[in-house]
Structures are given as structure tokens and as C-alpha cells.
Structure 1
Amino acid sequence: MTTSAPLRRLPVGSTYNLRDIGDYQVAGGARTGWGRLFRSDAARFTEGAEIAGLGLQTVIDLRDDAEIAVLPTGLDAFVPKVLHRPLDPRSLLSALPDGSPDPLGELYVALVRQRGAELAAIVADLARPGALPALVHCAAGKDRTGVVIALVLSAIGVSDDVVAADYALTADYLTADFFAAVPVESGAADPTDEVLRGARPESMTAMLRVLTAEYGGARAYLTGHGVPDEAIDQLRITLTR
């Protein structure tokens, strides 16, 4: 499902969780190409040389203004288009019932149910001509980024088990060192909360099941929120080789 190729996680800048989503099987026989779409935590970049090799044309920052103020990435100086598309999960997280066995799964389901317009707009940003190579990131590259990347992969035909496995790789990279290094105000999960800083595949699978059961799948979800079919087709073409 995933590959151990060294290109999966990229040791660029001070990131912990910068990953390439290349080489995933897509229905029909294609595979996602390397170097087209990246996912990451937030990091401060002070030199363009740190990211020049990625060839980024677009960055989508899913954090709100307060998070950006705490940890500005500096990418505006080095990437042609940096888009701020906040997906604030705090109100959704605080509304979850106490004692949930899978609060992250419930959070991702809530994002899908309540942030449809915002999520669709982000995918449309990635589908526009010339948008790729692109980087999608939030604070940790796990929750908000995880939902966006899952929607993209699922919409172009990557199977649910592969999507969930890609999400779960985050647990390998968001180590205790990561949580110790970032300020709580940055928007990363509370380092004292083992559940919220985890990345179990079951949490993403819960969201993917809701997409299928309630919306007919990721593609239907996106088109139902205004993303044209042809935009998703174009995204599939540009993401595959």
C-alpha cells in the first residue's frame, strides 16, 4: 500500500512530516506521480534553496491567522501562490461528546459534514491549471491536512486502505520531539493528549465510510459541493503518470 522509497518523507528544512504522495495505485492502473503533491507540518523557511527542489507553484495553508502569527512559514517569499484556507477544527473538537473511543475519527467526520464548501474550494485550488506541484499543510500535517489529502486521493480513485495507510504514516514522524519543539499556540495537538496526537488508520477509515454512506464517495461529495467533474478529471491526470 505504501512504499519505503526514500522520497516518501523529505528531510527539507525543519519539517518533521513533509511527505510526497507519489506512487499510490489509482483505479484503472495508473499511479500517482512523485513530485506533484506534498503534505506537511508547518515550518519556518528562511532560504528559498531549502524548498527549491520541490518546484512548488502553490502552497495551501490550512491554519487560521492566529496560528500563522505564532509560526509564519516564510513561504510567501519563495512560492508563486500561497493560499490561506483556514479549516479551524477547534469548535468541532470541543463539540464532540466526552468519552468518545475515536475522537479524531469523529473530528474528521465533522469536518466533512460541516466544512464542505471550504474543503471543496481547497480541492478546486489544487485542480486549477498550473497549481501543481503543490504543498498542503496545517500545524502538524495530520488532521486538517489528512482530511484534504484523503479527499484528493479518494476522489481520483485511490482505495480506502491506501488512503488510510498514507494518513497513518504521520504517526511515524510526529514524534515526542516534534510536540516538544512546537508551541501549543501553533495549533498542533496538545502534546499531553496521546489520543489527539495519534494517527490511527481507523480514524481516517471512519471518515471515508461516511463519505461513501452519506455522499456516495469523495468524488460525489466534491461535485455536490461545487467542484466540476472536469476539474476532478484534470486533477487525476496531473497527479498520475
Structure 2
Amino acid sequence: MTTSAPLRRLPVGTTYNLRDIGDYQVEDSARTSWGRLFRSDAARFTDGADIAALGLRTVIDLRDDAERAALPTGLDAFVPNVLHRPLDPRALLSAVSDAAEDPLGELYVALLRERGAELTTIVADLARPDALPALVHCAAGKDRTGVVIALVLSAIGVADEVVALDYALTADYLTADFFAAIPAESGAADPADQALHGARPESMIAMLRVLTAEYGGARAYLTGHGVPDEAIDQLRNTLTH
């Protein structure tokens, strides 16, 4: 992969939704750096040259064992540190009201409330020395990945509106063709369940509001679950310029 300028969406592998989270405004006039943290759907990677161009040191796969067996990515062959950190949102779908106006917003809030230990372990993984550049992915790169990336961006000082807009970019890339092409066991939403396909900024804003109201914000949420302040500072320093 060669390009003369940084790209938000990257044409690597057979991914639909591989994106760089660089160039977002952070408080104190800093910006997130290109080429440090990526987010993606799951895909089969067979070209080591494309992966090598990203310089990945860490991959965090948020899928469970069955999902990984249904769609192996092949990243273990190209990246030195591939971590399996399943979040399993399907077990939380029962907490989402059938009459919910925003079922995804409710699901993300449920992930915050019920998966605190898992989420903070993932952020701590990213804050380790030499962990970056890193890729975080699930099946679609939307729900689990969206919550993790939102926590990271919010914790380092990116405004809620910007975090939500980054999340909402997913809607541009996860087309009906994507949902029709993936195996049912892959963990992405059922092609018939349109309510879980979207990526409206309002869904992420709903989660971020609960994060502030109930936990005092992303940084307090993470430190409250055991991530040291200095680890978050380290993450901010390595993600920004």
C-alpha cells in the first residue's frame, strides 16, 4: 500500500472498514497522529506487504472463539502480538428493550456497565510501552470496536462530538453487501436485523453521556477500573503530537 498523503480509510486486505484515527483535535491543541491506532472489521489478510506497511506491533481481536474460527484473519502470521480480548455483546442484547428507539445506544451503555474489566484491560493493552502502532477490530468494526475506540479517544481528550463522528463514519462503509457476504457465525449483525446495522452519531453520544453522568468521564471510568493515570498519560503521549 502506497499513498502520498494519510488516508482515513485504508485499502488493506479485504476489509470494508479499516480506518486510521489520526488527525483528530485533542485538548491543548494537540492532534492524534496518523499511523498509530487503527480500527477495522475482520477480514482475511494474506498479503504481508500491506500489513507491513502499517507497522503493526499489536492487534486486539474483540471476537470470541467461534467468531475467530468462522473467519480467521491470518494476522498472527504478520503481527508479533495478537491479543484475544472477547467482549461478547450478544449476551447483553437481552438488556436492550424491544421498544428501544436507539437499541445500539442501549447496547453500548450495557457494554460500559457490564464489561468494565474487559474494556479497561484492552485500553491498558494499548497503553503498554511499544504497543503501538495497533489495530483494534471485531467482526464489523462498529459496536465493540466503536466502544473501545470511543473510550480511548475520550480518555485522551477528544471531544464527544468528534468521537461520535468517527464512529458514524462506519455507516459509509458497512453496506448491505457487507452484511450479506459475511458468515452468520462471524459475529456481525444478522443481515435481516436492520436496527443493529446503523452507526448514527446519536448512539455513541448516548453512551458518552452515560459515561460522564455515571462515571465522571472516560478517564475516571478507566482509572476506577484499575488503569493507572500514568498509563493513560502514556497512551495520550504516544497517540498525539
Q: After TM superposition, which residue ranges in structure 1, 4 or more long, deviate above 6 angstroms?
A: none
The one-letter amino acid of 1:79's match is: V
Corresponding residue for residue 53 of structure 1: 53
The one-letter amino acid of 1:219's match is: R
1:30-55 Cα deviation digits (max 9, x unpaired): 00000000000000112311211100
Corresponding residue for residue 232 of structure 2: 232
Residues matched between the structures, number? 237
Corresponding residue for residue 40 of structure 1: 40
The one-letter amino acid of 1:91's match is: A
CA distance in 2, matches of 1:140, 1:6: 23
Corresponding residue for residue 149 of structure 2: 149
Corresponding residue for residue 16 of structure 2: 16
Q: Report the aligned-residue RMSD.
A: 0.9
CA distance in 1, matches of 2:217, 2:130: 26
Does residue 171 (structure 1) correspond to residue 149 (structure 2)? The answer is no
Percent identity of paired positions between Structure 1 and Structure 2:
85
Which consecutive unaligned segments of at least 5 residues does structure 2 have? none
- The SS at the match of 1:69 is helix
Give 1:190 shift.
1.1
CA distance in 1, matches of 2:128, 2:143: 24
Counting only pairs closer than 5 Å after superposition, residues 67-146 of structure 1 correspond to structure 2 as: 67-146=67-146
Give 1:96 shift.
1.7
The one-letter amino acid of 1:164's match is: A
CA distance in 1, matches of 2:32, 2:97: 37
Corresponding residue for residue 190 of structure 2: 190
Give 1:192 shift.
1.4
The one-letter amino acid of 1:198's match is: G
Does residue 201 (structure 1) correspond to residue 225 (structure 2)? The answer is no
CA distance in 2, matches of 1:194, 1:6: 32
The one-letter amino acid of 1:151's match is: L
Alignment TM-score, normalising by the size of structure 1: 0.97
CA distance in 2, matches of 1:153, 1:47: 30
8 A contact 2:6–2:34 mirrored in 1: no
The one-letter amino acid of 1:185's match is: E
CA distance in 2, matches of 1:61, 1:115: 15
CA distance in 2, matches of 1:179, 1:6: 28
- The SS at the match of 2:234 is helix
Give 1:95 shift.
2.9
CA distance in 2, matches of 1:209, 1:189: 25
Which stretch of the first structure deviates more once superposed, 91-100 or 122-131?
Answer: 91-100
CA distance in 2, matches of 1:95, 1:233: 34
CA distance in 1, matches of 2:185, 2:206: 28
The one-letter amino acid of 1:22's match is: G
Which consecutive unaligned segments of at least 5 residues does structure 1 have? none
The one-letter amino acid of 1:28's match is: D
Corresponding residue for residue 65 of structure 2: 65
Give 1:6 shift.
5.8
